[in-house]
Homo-oligomer: A and B are copies of this chain.
Amino acid sequence: LQKRKLVDHHAPNASTGIVNGRSSNVLNWDDTRYSWAYPMYKTMLANFWIPSEINMSNDLKQWPELSAQEQASFKKIIGLLAFLDSIQTDYSGKVADYLTDSSVSALMQVLAFQEVVHNQSYSYVLSTLVDQSEQERIFEYWKHDEILMERNQFITDGYEEFANEPSIDKFLKSVVYDVVLEGLFFYAGFAFFYNLARNQKMVSTSTMINYINRDEQIHVNLFAHIFKETLNENPQLDREWYEDFVTTTFKEAVDLEIKWAHHIIGNEFPGIPIDDLEDYIRFIANKRCKLMGADKPYPEYAENPLKWIRAYQEVDEGKSDFFEQKSRQYTKVSEDNGFDDL
């Protein structure tokens, strides 16, 4: 892959391709190659939020009342999210270097910015609930927890292969690992927080998780666009092979996510029976594969078994009153924000 040039005097402002294309690198939002880019940009801006403005006082009061198991899972999931969003910031920067369309590269910069905000929310939640030394321990779980390490390795291997050999092949594969990370590996953890909120526990934290979830939906859409445009624009690539790669990679990812779900949730929380959670993970994997244009790995799992979870990401649509913060103060535009289903 060719890196995007700092400036190309002989290229048009609207690019000639998503990778290995040409572009002056001057960004005019009204003169871009892909019709989906500017609406996505506006949605991302509309989603802006500042973690430290969310009032954590109720969560702080409830924290000591959580069961030991609830606290342990809460901390493990935050530790996981902090790791994943950190490497995600890094990976998105690497991807941006090779996107030869300056508007898509700009979207990647907005995405990276959002990951930074997500990381602030994990620090903010922990600094409210636990002392500094425990916070630092939680931010190091990823170094010691073996189940966590195994699934993190799955992602980082894919990312590092691309970093070490930035070919179009490794690029496309890394995008699939990205969609696994942003579109699947967060979801057992999200379910845990939404289940707490359903029981009127730790609602402010869950609100932040919901904002993060909302961002991640758009990130998944962005990477799916990049994946499909790259295949469209490079007919020399074996499309079917890459689509199969999506499906098989998601199958492996589902096994890892289920293992993790047993580890952090298991049969400890009656609101999320582990069997339903497993099926939910397969259901999500199907959705992601379909979005990427690939076959569903589990076509028999066509329904979301955790029906109640929908309400937790429909705050924007005014259908939910589960959350304290009913109005999304930063959300000012009315476009569809990419949220269809969890």
Chain A 90-142 interface residues, beta-carbon cutoff 8 Å to B: 90-91, 93-94, 96-97, 102, 105-106, 109-110, 112-113, 115-117, 119-120, 122-124, 126-127, 132, 135-136, 139-140, 142
* Across-interface contacts of A249 in B (CB, < 8 A): none
Asked whether A127 and B30 contact (CB < 8 A) given A90-B25, A113-B109, A113-B110, the answer is yes
**Binary contact readout A197-211 vs B (1 if CB under 8 angstroms, 0 otherwise):** 000000000000000
Which residue of the partner chain B has the closest CB to A109? B112
Chain A 152-208 interface residues, beta-carbon cutoff 8 Å to B: 152, 156, 159-160, 163
A82 at the interface (CB under 8 A from B): yes
Total interface residues in chain A, CB < 8 Å = 63
User: Does A93 lie within 8 Å of B90, measured CB to CB?
Assistant: no
Instruction: Give, as a whole number of angstroms, the nearest-CB distance from A32 to chain B.
Output: 10
Within 8 Å by CB of A13, from B112, B124, B139, lies B139
A323 at the interface (CB under 8 A from B): no
Chain A 231-256 interface residues, beta-carbon cutoff 8 Å to B: none
User: Does A90 lie within 8 Å of B142, measured CB to CB?
Assistant: no
Within 8 Å by CB of A25, from B26, B87, B102, lies B87
* Across-interface contacts of A115 in B (CB, < 8 A): 109
User: Does B48 lie within 8 Å of A52, measured CB to CB?
Assistant: no
Which of the segments A3-11, A295-303, A314-322 contacts the partner chain? Answer: A3-11
User: Does A42 lie within 8 Å of B52, measured CB to CB?
Assistant: yes
Q: Is the interface of A mostly helix, strand, loop or mixed?
A: helix
Within 8 Å by CB of A89, from B9, B109, B119, B160, lies B109
* Across-interface contacts of A24 in B (CB, < 8 A): 143
User: Does B116 lie within 8 Å of A106, measured CB to CB?
Assistant: yes
User: Does B127 lie within 8 Å of A27, measured CB to CB?
Assistant: no
* Across-interface contacts of A6 in B (CB, < 8 A): 87, 90-91, 156, 159-160, 163
A327 at the interface (CB under 8 A from B): no
* Across-interface contacts of A91 in B (CB, < 8 A): 6
* Across-interface contacts of A123 in B (CB, < 8 A): 28-30
Chain A 68-94 interface residues, beta-carbon cutoff 8 Å to B: 82-83, 85-87, 89-91, 93-94
Bound Cα distance from A165 to B110, whole angstroms:
27
Given contacts A6-B163, A30-B126, A109-B112, 13 further A-B contacts (CB under 8 A): A6-B87, A7-B152, A25-B86, A27-B89, A27-B119, A28-B119, A30-B132, A30-B135, A41-B116, A89-B106, A93-B109, A109-B109, A112-B113
Where the two chains meet, the residues of A that have a C-beta atom closer than 8 Å to any C-beta of B are 4, 6-7, 9, 13, 24-31, 41-42, 45-46, 48, 50, 52-53, 82-83, 85-87, 89-91, 93-94, 96-97, 102, 105-106, 109-110, 112-113, 115-117, 119-120, 122-124, 126-127, 132, 135-136, 139-140, 142-143, 152, 156, 159-160, 163, 332
Cross-chain pairs A/B with CB under 8 angstroms, 9 sampled: A4-B90, A7-B152, A13-B136, A25-B90, A27-B119, A28-B122, A28-B136, A48-B48, A109-B116
The 6 A-B residue pairs with the shortest CB-CB distance in the complex, in nearest-first order: A113-B113, A29-B123, A109-B112, A106-B116, A28-B139, A26-B86
